[in-house]
Amino acid sequence: GQNIDQPTEMTATEGAIVQINCTYQTSGFNGLFWYQQHAGEAPTFLSYNVLDGLEEKGRFSSFLSRSKGYSYLLLKELQMKDSASYLCATDQTGANNLFFGTGTRLTVIP
C-alpha cells in the first residue's frame, strides 16, 4: 500500500526559513519528489531524492531518509512568491506513476 502524510497548512514570515515535512509508507519505494503548485496553476517540479541526505538547489533544499520513510523540503530566505502548496510524491521501482500527498499550503506573511 501507499500512504503519504504532510501538514495541511503552514505559515511563515518573509525572510525566514521553513521546513515542510513528509512521511511516507510506499511498497517498493524508489524515490521522492517535491512539487510546487501556486493557486490556480499546475504543479511544477522542484526536486527528486533517491539517496539519503540533503540536496541543495539555491534557496530550496530537500532531504531524504529512506530508513525512516521521511523527507523534508527546506525553504530559506522566504519570499512572498513562495506562498504555494508543496506536494510530496513517491515513485516505485518498476512503475512510472507517482503517488502524491495532499500537499502543504504555505502562506508567507510580511
According to CB under 8 A, which one of 13, 16, 17, 50 is a site residue for another protein?
50
User: Looking at beta carbons only, is 78 or 103 nearer to another protein?
Assistant: 103
Residue 97 as a binder of another protein (CB under 8 A): the answer is yes
Residue 33 as a binder of another protein (CB under 8 A): the answer is yes
Binding span for another protein by CB under 8 A among 15-23, 41-49, 61-69, 75-83: 41-49
Residue 77 as a binder of another protein (CB under 8 A): the answer is no
Q: How far is CA 51 from the centre of its chain?
A: 15
According to CB under 8 A, which one of 44, 65, 79, 107 is a site residue for another protein?
44
How far, in Å, CA of 55 to CA of 73, rounded? 10
Residue 98 as a binder of another protein (CB under 8 A): the answer is yes
What stretches of the chain adopt beta strand conformation (E)?
A: 2-5, 9-13, 18-26, 29-37, 44-49, 53-57, 60-65, 70-75, 84-92, 98-100, 104-109
Could you tell me whether strands 9-13 and 53-57 are parallel, antiparallel, or unpaired per DSSP bridges?
unpaired
